[in-house]
Amino acid sequence: MDLGIAGRTALVCGASKGLGLGCAQALAAEGVQLTIVARTQEVLEHAAQAIRGSTGVSVTAVACDITTAQGRAQALAACPTPDILVTNAGGPPPGDFRDWERDDWIRALDANMLTPIELIRATIDSMMAQRFGRIVNITSSSVKAPIDILGLSNGARSGLTGFVAGLARKVAGHNVTINNLLPGAFATDRLNATLAGTAKKQNIDLAEVREQRRGTIPAGRFGEPAEFGAACAFLCSVHAAYMTGQNVLLDGGAYPGTF
Ligand code: NAD
């Protein structure tokens, strides 16, 4: 299927590896010109080279911390009026809410709620003016089914979800859509770090923890970033113009509800 977005421009955050990279690769495969953002220059440039080599699209790499005002300014200077915006940053650390001080909450809110909102604020008016815009926020399955040790993520991402639910309806008439993609367990560095943390805490073998986790997923495996990217690219396509304000779960069937 031709997604109808060749020649469009996209700003993709957190895109040197994992799910953000999966989204960048899928958009590039559709002929979208990219600006990709991550903190570590070398890893980001490596990703940019690989995308250029495999797709031939232009890729601008901006090494910055997207959760800071300065980082956002750098990213937006490189790509001030994207047709497509994919928001993403690292998830907050696990823990017990009794140990979290106000600053821990502010960091989580900054990264996983206020940064996407700031990026939307900076880019949505030009999308509305040109009558085309696609915004995809990478959130988490924790928005639908809270994860015990990830209270900072459950809380901050739910704030973003509530805000987006309202805004999506205000901009839908301008052919601008805003949707959230909710990853379950995907094979990325983030998942490896989470599993390693659990293994250490419970003093059991990492392979055993991995196997236990895999066993909770009806699909019987972890998701691949390329699968995540494919869903993102579809949400950014011309065909998804009537789909907005949605929370799309990609979790191999792990969420046990009917709706
Ligand atoms: P990852 O660690 O594999 O990749 C994260 C990417 O974001 C990297 O490119 C990293 O450099 C970049 N990044 C992180 N913080 C940044 C910052 N402040 N500024 C700019 N770039 C930054 O992680 P992932 O698995 O791809 O996860 C992406 C998001 O999805 C995270 O918020 C994570 O919590 C969430 N998530 C992941 C899973 C999973 O199973 N992988 C499940 C649920 C939620």
Q: How many CB atoms lie within 10 A of CB 201?
A: 11
Mean pLDDT across 234-257: 98
Mean pLDDT across 4-12: 98
Atom of ligand 1 nearest to the CA of 91: 34
Atom of ligand 1 nearest to the CA of 225: 26
What pTM was estimated for this model as a whole? 0.98
Q: How far is CA 221 from CA 64, 99, 208, in A?
A: 33, 33, 14
Beta-carbon contacts of residue 160 (< 8 Å; ≥ 6 apart): 112, 113, 116, 117, 137, 139, 180
**What is the per-residue pLDDT for 104?**
97
**What is the per-residue pLDDT for 48?**
98
Mean pLDDT across 105-128: 98
Q: In 113-205, which residue ranges form alpha helices assigned H by DSSP?
A: 115-130, 151-171, 189-202
Q: Would you state the structure tokens that stand for residue 130, as one six-digit string?
A: 């040109």
Q: Would you state the structure tokens that stand for residue 217, as one six-digit string?
A: 């997923």
**What is the per-residue pLDDT for 99?**
97
Atom of ligand 1 nearest to the CA of 21: 9
Q: In a mutational test of the pocket of ligand 1, which residue from 188, 221, 247, 255 has the highest number of ligand atoms less than 8 Å from its CB?
A: 188
Q: Starting from the edge strand earliest in sequence, which strands make up the sheet with 59-63, in order?
A: 59-63, 33-38, 9-12, 84-87, 133-138, 176-183, 247-250
Q: What lines the ligand 1 site, CB under 6 Å?
A: 14-20, 37-39, 65-67, 88-91, 138, 140-141, 183, 185-186, 188-191
Mean pLDDT across 46-63: 98
**What is the per-residue pLDDT for 198?**
86
> What is the Å distance from ligand 1's center to 173 Cα?
31
**What is the per-residue pLDDT for 61?**
98
